[in-house]
């Protein structure tokens, strides 16, 4: 086996709770497609309006050497394409060439496709919950002029609300939510976009009991 082997893909999302997502390629033979599932409530608070942006995407390949000559076989050019039947993809295919052949002791070659902010997809309907399957297809050419095709599969979940107790809508439940809920209770914060998710007492308005309950939740997860 003397061809570069796909190892992982790293994607960073600049807004909200998605953060860095890493897909590791399953190297064992399997009839199943490996899918990276993101947190169910991470997508909605990470979107900018109806669009999701990413600001970094890279892939790593293991580099093999010819058993007879010892010569390494690298990726010399590569194209990234994003495919989905569930969503309107706004990401244009990216081609890179003149790639660095430097590898460390781990024999990994880095391919950098995205290093600045760009849109990945947009949602037309922000009312309905959706499961969104996305495939990142990498078509590469190696040092022997052979074509290698690899894919990274991600499953996103759009939920039209964030989770209970996430008062500021960033996908987390932490001390920031407690402070925001306290300020809303004292009428010092009029930004109430996600404020209803801080109502934990089954009532219709924010009460002191909600602040205490939220603070206890945060302490339990510390």
pLDDT in tens, 32-54: 568 899 988 888 888 898 999 99
pLDDT of residue 114: 97
What is the CATH number for 25?
A: 2.70.50
- 153 and 180 housed in the same domain: no
What tokens were used for 2? Answer: 């003397």
Quote the number of domains for the chain: 2
Q: How far apart are the C-alpha atoms of 112 and 4, rounded to whole Å?
A: 16
Low-confidence residues of the chain: pLDDT under 50: 28-29
Q: How far apart are the C-alpha atoms of 18 and 175, rounded to whole Å?
A: 19
- 84 and 46 housed in the same domain: yes
Q: Which domain holds residue 199?
A: 175-220
pLDDT of residue 65: 78
In a domain, 170, yes or no: no
pLDDT of residue 3: 87
pLDDT of residue 179: 83
- 33 and 109 housed in the same domain: yes
In a domain, 15, yes or no: yes
- 28 and 132 housed in the same domain: yes
- Does pTM surpass 0.85? no
- 179 and 153 housed in the same domain: no
- 56 and 152 housed in the same domain: yes
Q: How far apart are the C-alpha atoms of 178 and 214, rounded to whole Å?
A: 6
pLDDT of residue 212: 81
- 154 and 213 housed in the same domain: no
pLDDT of residue 173: 78
- 89 and 20 housed in the same domain: yes
């Amino acid at each position: 086996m003397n061809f570069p082997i796909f190892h992982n893909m790293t994607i960073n999302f600049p807004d909200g709770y998605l953060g860095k997502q890493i897909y590791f390629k399953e190297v064992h033979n399997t009839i199943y497609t490996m899918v990276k599932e993101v947190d169910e409530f991470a997508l909605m608070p990470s979107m900018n309006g109806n669009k999701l942006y990413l600001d970094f995407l890279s892939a790593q390949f293991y580099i093999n050497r010819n058993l007879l000559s010892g010569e390494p076989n690298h990726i010399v050019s590569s194209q990234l394409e994003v495919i989905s039947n569930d969503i309107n993809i706004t990401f244009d295919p990216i081609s890179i060439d003149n790639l660095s052949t430097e590898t460390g002791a781990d024999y990994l070659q880095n391919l950098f496709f995205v290093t600045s902010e760009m849109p990945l997809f947009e949602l037309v309907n922000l009312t309905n919950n959706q499961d969104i399957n996305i495939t990142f297809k990498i078509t590469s050419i190696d040092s022997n002029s052979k074509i290698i095709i690899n894919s990274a599969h991600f499953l996103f979940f759009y939920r039209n609300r964030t989770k209970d107790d996430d008062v500021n809508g960033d996908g987390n439940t932490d001390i920031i939510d407690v402070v925001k809920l306290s300020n809303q209770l004292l009428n010092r914060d009029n930004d109430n976009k996600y404020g209803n998710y801080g109502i934990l007492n089954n009532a219709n308005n924010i009460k002191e009991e909600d602040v205490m309950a939220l603070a206890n939740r945060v302490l339990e997860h510390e």
